[in-house]
Amino acid sequence: MKKVLIINGPNMNMLGKRPKEHYGTLTLEELNERIREENHGFFELDFFQSNCEGALITKLQECIHYYGILINPASYTHSSIGIRDALDMCTGIKLEIHLSKVDEREDFRKVNYIRDVCDKTFSGKKEESYLEALRFLKKL
């Protein structure tokens, strides 16, 4: 079965307590459950979240040959060359995800080190951003 990593960065473990207008109401576990339901056994899913840059980089290195990676680097989107470089080495299909309309928010969120090493971006639709990305991957 093809393996897909769903990897989330800092503060994503606090979903449900973060500003709802940007991030919706689901907890991370509820979000992951929605993704599992959407997947319906199609891919082997590997879920990972960390608040630490190094842990995210190590996980990406471990998953370097996965078929697909759905990544929401959260605030590291705007600061991490290390995550970008790790992602660049990954050989599978890489999809950048954001719950919020990240390009329409503060100017500092317009800096994005991740986008050009990803194949496609899904953002601004809260949990639906992840579900759309998974559907996209299933159809390829």
Q: Are the C-beta atoms of 103 and 113 separated by less than 8 Å?
A: no
Per rule CB under 6 A, is residue 79 in the interface with ligand DQA?
no
Per rule CB under 6 A, is residue 11 in the interface with ligand DQA?
yes
44 bridge partner residues? 3
Rounded-to-integer distance, Cα 124 and Cα 100, Å: 4
Per rule CB under 6 A, is residue 131 in the interface with ligand DQA?
no
Per rule CB under 6 A, is residue 102 in the interface with ligand DQA?
yes
Exactly one of 49, 60, 69, 98 binds ligand DQA (CB under 6 A); which one? 98
Closest approach, Cβ 9 to ligand DQA, in A, equals 7
Closest approach, Cβ 117 to ligand DQA, in A, equals 16
Q: If you ran DSSP here, which 8-state letter would residue 117 be given?
A: G
> What is the Cα gyration radius of the chain?
14
